[in-house]
Amino acid sequence: MVKDIPGLVSIIIPTYNRATMCKTAVESVLSQTYGEVEVIVVDDGSNDDTKQIISGLNDRIQYIWQKNSGVVTARNLGMQMAKGEYIAFLDSDDTWLPWKLEAQLAVLRAFPTAGMVFTDMMAVDENGVGLYGYYNRQMFGAYEFFNPELHFRLGRTMDEVWSNCPDVLSGHKCYVGNIFKWMFMGNLILTSTVLMRRNRQRNVGLFDIDLSKSGEDYDFHLRTCRIGDVAYLDLSSVQYRIGASDQLTSSDLLVWIAKNDLKTITKMVSAARMEIPLTDVVIRKRIAQSHAWIGREEFFRNRQNARSHFWKSLKLSPFQAKVAVYALLLFFPELFIDLLRAIKRKFKELGK
């Protein structure tokens, strides 16, 4: 095995037919205040001019083309090619703020038990206009259960851990602890915010290629948290684009995220039940929640599948009024469901 280059951060950027946006993402890495980086752009079979635009940008960029096979294999290939002591991920439609890596490296130096550090994110529209300064709580429903101040073991201010901390960031806090229990309740982490130690990544392994389409990141981050401490920086270090049709979290792919959520938690219960410090009742409720999520996503797509998941959810956790209503609605004629779909679509249009 080739020895990792000390201090080097390897950034993996998977992309597909996003030449201009990918260039912006890469430039946000090259503009970091921490300069010891290699940028590995894995082109997942683009047929636009991505190669021409990206290849000549900078000698710190490694451009790799693969036959179109999805973001999971692209990220995995990037990790296999990486030479750095640290691994970071950036989706090609997101961008980093200039201080991201320097701040996160300071956090990892301050918390040597942490194998990974993640942050909050700001949401922007397709034109880069800011919509939300802190978006984690809107993006991830699991923050309903999670409070960094309460559920991490230790917190410090950034000026305590980062000697060159800008004044505007100095009062913000960073935390360390084992949050495996809370991650089991749902994903808390945007992949573009993550910086990992390479030795933690090797222990975690690669992204699961069986989790296709979307939602593979939750499984990866849950396995990361199972191994030990992680750190959190209570700042938005990433501009995360929302509202675009080609996103991995677009409405058409939400059913896959829901299905992979169920696969992830059932796989983890099977592999590590004794390591999850939650009661059987709570675990049943969590699995029931996942079945209900699939049911909601399948409601207008596949009535039979939706009905099956709603009943599985109610069998695991009977006292769910909303789930029961959804299940009963599926006994109405399909014309009634079509009417509900039309009403939902109209409300979406009015909300734009």
Considering the domain architecture, whether residues 241 and 283 belong to the same structural domain is answered as no
Is residue 269 included in any domain, yes or no?
no
Q: Are residues 157 and 72 in the same domain?
A: yes
Same domain assignment for residues 30 and 174: yes
75, 45 contact by CB (below 8 A): no
Q: What is the per-residue pLDDT for 247?
A: 53
Task: Indicate if the pLDDT at residue 173 is higher than 60.
Answer: yes
Give the mean pLDDT of 63-71.
95
Q: What local confidence, expressed as pLDDT, does residue 253 receive?
A: 85
- 61 and 108 both lie in a single domain: yes
Q: Are residue 49 and residue 137 in the same domain, yes or no?
A: yes
Pair 207, 216: CB distance under 8 Å:
yes
- What is the pLDDT confidence band of residue 350, given thresholds at 50, 70 and 90? low
Over residues 175-233, the pLDDT tens digits come to: 999 999 999 999 999 999 999 999 999 999 999 999 977 889 999 999 999 999 999 99
Distance CA 241, CA 23 (A): 15
Same structural domain, 83 and 130: yes
Q: Are residues 15 and 137 in the same domain?
A: yes
120 within domain boundaries = yes
Which region among 38-42, 65-69, 285-289, 330-334 has the lowest average model confidence (pLDDT)?
A: 330-334
Residue at 233 is within a domain: yes
H/E element, 122: strand 116-124
Phi, psi of 126 (to 5 degrees): -60, -20
pLDDT band at 332 (very low <50, low <70, confident <90, very high): confident
Span 280-317, pLDDT tens digits: 999 999 999 999 999 999 998 899 999 999 999 999 99
Three-class HEC string of 305-341: HHHHHHHHHHHHCCCCHHHHHHHHHCCCCHHHHHHHH
Residue 270 lies in a domain: no
Question: Do the domain assignments include residue 262?
Answer: no
Is the domain of 42 the same as that of 178? yes
Could you list the residue range(s) of the whole structural domain that residue 192 is in?
Answer: 6-251
Q: Does any domain span residue 268?
A: no
> pLDDT value at position 1?
56
What is the spatial distance between Cα 339 and Cα 71, in angstroms, rounded to a whole number? 36
Classify residue 231: in a domain, yes or no: yes
Check residue 288 and give its pLDDT: 98
* C-alpha dihedral (11, 229, 76, 248), degrees to nearest 10: -80
pLDDT, position 250: 52
Domain count, the chain: 2
**130-132 and 116-124 as β-strands: parallel, antiparallel, unpaired?**
antiparallel
The pTM of the full predicted model, rounded to 2 decimals, is 0.92
Higher-confidence residue of 198 and 349: namely 198
As a whole number, mean pLDDT of residues 236-244 equals 91
Is the domain of 233 the same as that of 336?
no
- In this prediction, residue 75 has a pLDDT band, given cuts at 50, 70 and 90, of very high
Please enumerate in sequence order all residues whose Cβ is within 8 A of that of 107, keeping only pairs 6 or more positions apart, or say none.
114, 117, 161, 162, 174, 231, 233
Are 57 and 151 members of one domain? yes
Dihedral Cα 190, 191, 197, 200, nearest 10 deg? 90
pLDDT value at residue 341: 74
pLDDT value at 251 more than 70:
no
How high is the pLDDT of residue 352? 54
pLDDT for position 56: 83
If asked whether residues 226 and 285 sit together in one domain, one would say no
The mean pLDDT value for 137-147 works out to 94
Give residue 243's pLDDT band: very low, low, confident or very high (50, 70, 90): confident
16 lies in the same domain as 90: yes
- Residue 271 within any structural domain of the chain: no
- pLDDT band of residue 246 (cuts 50, 70, 90) is low
Confidence of residue 277 (pLDDT cuts 50, 70, 90): very high
Tokens for 186, please give them.
Answer: 């749902």
Mean pLDDT of 80-86: 97
Mean pLDDT value across the chain: 93
In the listed set 251, 270, 295, which residue is the last one of a domain according to the structure? 251
Provide the CATH number for the domain around residue 172. 3.90.550.10
**pLDDT at residue 35 tops 90:** yes
